[in-house]
Structure 1
């Protein structure tokens, strides 16, 4: 059976507490359980205070057979940020934009370049999705078409550097679109002549969508799966209603992270679960203990939260 663990983002101490809570013990092969295996949904690097320790824990568990892990958008971006062009110069030129979140990771490995290069090679051995016996795991969005594209166009095993180069240099390619769909999900982009104001007084030009929902007749807020803001209850005009990726109720349970659901809910439907507890903001790390069920059980959610000193008074 599997324990699926949400976005860790460099919070090694909380990860250790969660693993112990789940019944894992520290052994020569890292943390292990006699009957279960951990599954990480990606985004275990960047942002947190113990990125190096986090990678060591997860990598050791994966390499010893005690865990599985998929790539998240943060891992994909960090791999890209270290690529070089034919002249040996960095492929990514300033301004870094999407790569700024990797600075903490860069700094933690500044005195250990060989260890970091080894980790980069290891990251490329991780899959973009897992279709296991009874459950599916992906970082942001399950798309049957994207999964089939990856199966048909990427050979099994370590992903070649050329793949990541193409993602960066040809963002409009089918390769890039399908990999970003799996690791970043669907984004609704506002038409240039449409302006709506969120609850923070800002007019967003895009927002993360509930990719599994039929968008017809929904309001902007009902279509949104944002955690940073809420949108008005205006019905999305049919002329700009986006495509979605409906997830059938009889499909296997799918677990993902990415969406920073600090306030929940985490079980979205009977077979859809988002395990990103927003560890950076809420200091919450989530896991789901899957025991073979075909319908998600709220009692199987496990939460570990860091309590600030002010809350203990």
Structure 2
């Protein structure tokens, strides 16, 4: 079996259709059906940013309903649920505040699905059906970070299939709690504090006192922040070159390959490490390419650059291996 692990789509349905056709999927009038011996897996962040939100959801969920694909939840699906859910401890506020930054991040979704409309409520309920992670005999799939300790913390808040419950949404949305930190790890990645009260500005214009790190590297706490940070060099300019990472407390606790999205990579795709592959190559911007890794379940390791397929929507040629 070949698992076509598809990166963050972010409402770019045209790119998704292009990639599926390139991989040999054929629409049968109901959904895109895979070629023999293939199955799709969507690595999260189906929504926000692009102009084809509903079309993306319809394509993905038709495949899920037909039993020819799987998906894991991204932080943007989680954010959509929290943005629309009132805080039971403060009924005038939502679990994700409706501040200017959050509204801007979510405006493409709400432009197609007006807040609290019947269609909005329908798709929110469907998002609850997506598990936070999937583990099989041959690989692990999660949106941002395979953190076994955080997953153990989250399990009591999930269904047997690792899907978020409404109670779990409320519990994980409360900042400064272990459940909140665990959810952040799984859906957003590993962070470490910046030294001496320094701050950096992220791509949304938000001031950050913490920096996301490349958790797939070995011996994180023996490296400098500049070595392990997942941040633009311009954002790191004020951080001393010799500042060390502290209090990360993370290690990969699986022998299986791990597949993630989330990280807005660019360039020619390649594995992040001997164990970790990211399939997010910035399809959420017009110049980014929707990317897939074709995982052979009979031989998941070693991870190989030639197993990537990209849909180069703005070129006359397609780069990447065609479907098997």
TM-score by length of 2: 0.83
Provide the C-alpha distance between the structure 1 equivalents of 2:46 and 2:23, rounded to a whole number of angstroms. 18
Q: CA deviation at 1:197?
A: 11
- Residue 132 of structure 1 pairs with residue 123 of structure 2: no
Offset at residue 24 of structure 1 (A): 0.9
Higher deviation after alignment, 273-282 or 213-222: 213-222
Measured in 2, the distance between the counterparts of 1:118 and 1:270 equals 40
Equivalent residue for 1:39?
A: 41
> Is contact 1:141-1:184 (8 Å) kept?
yes
Select between 26-35 and 67-76 the one with higher mean Cα deviation. Answer: 26-35
1:268 aligns with 2:272: yes
Note the alpha carbon deviations across 1:73-100, whole angstroms, 9 max, x for none: 1111110111134597552554253453
**Contact persistence 1:227–1:261 (CA under 8 A):** no
Per the normalisation by structure 1, the TM-score is 0.86
Q: Distance in 2 between matches of 1:141 and 1:60?
A: 27
Measured after TM superposition, the shift of residue 118 of structure 1 is 1.3
Taking the aligned partners of 2:171 and 2:267, their CA distance within structure 1 comes to: 37
2:149 to 142, 145, 152: 145
Equivalences, count: 302
Give the corresponding residue for 2:312.
305
- Provide the residue aligned with 2:220 in structure 1: 215
**Structure 1 residues 70 and 197, CA, compared in 2 at 3 Å: closer, same or farther?**
closer
Shift of 1:304: 0.9
- CA displacement 1:139-186 (0-9 Å, x = unmatched): 001101122223344232553222222322x21222221111100011
- 1:254 Cα offset (Å): 0.4
Does structure 2 retain, via aligned residues, the 8 Å contact 1:78–1:99?
no
- Asked whether the equivalents of residues 10 and 284 of structure 2 are also in contact (C-alpha less than 8 Å), the reply is yes
Corresponding position: 1:159 with 2:164 = yes
Question: How far 1:194 sits from its partner (Å)?
Answer: 4.7
Q: Say if 2:181 is the partner of 1:177.
A: yes
CA contact (8 A) 2:159 2:165 kept: no
- Find the aligned partners of 2:200 and 2:110 in 1 and give their Cα distance: 38
Q: Which runs of 5+ in 1 are unaligned?
A: none
**Counterpart in 2 of 1:12?**
13
Q: Over aligned residues, Cα RMSD in angstroms?
A: 2.9
Please say if residues 280 and 290 of structure 2, whose CA atoms lie closer than 8 Å, have aligned partners that are also in contact: yes
Q: Runs of 5+ in structure 2 lacking a partner? A: 317-324
Measured against aligned partners, the alpha-carbon deviations of 1:251-279 in whole angstroms (never above 9, x if no partner) come to 11101011100235541112211111011
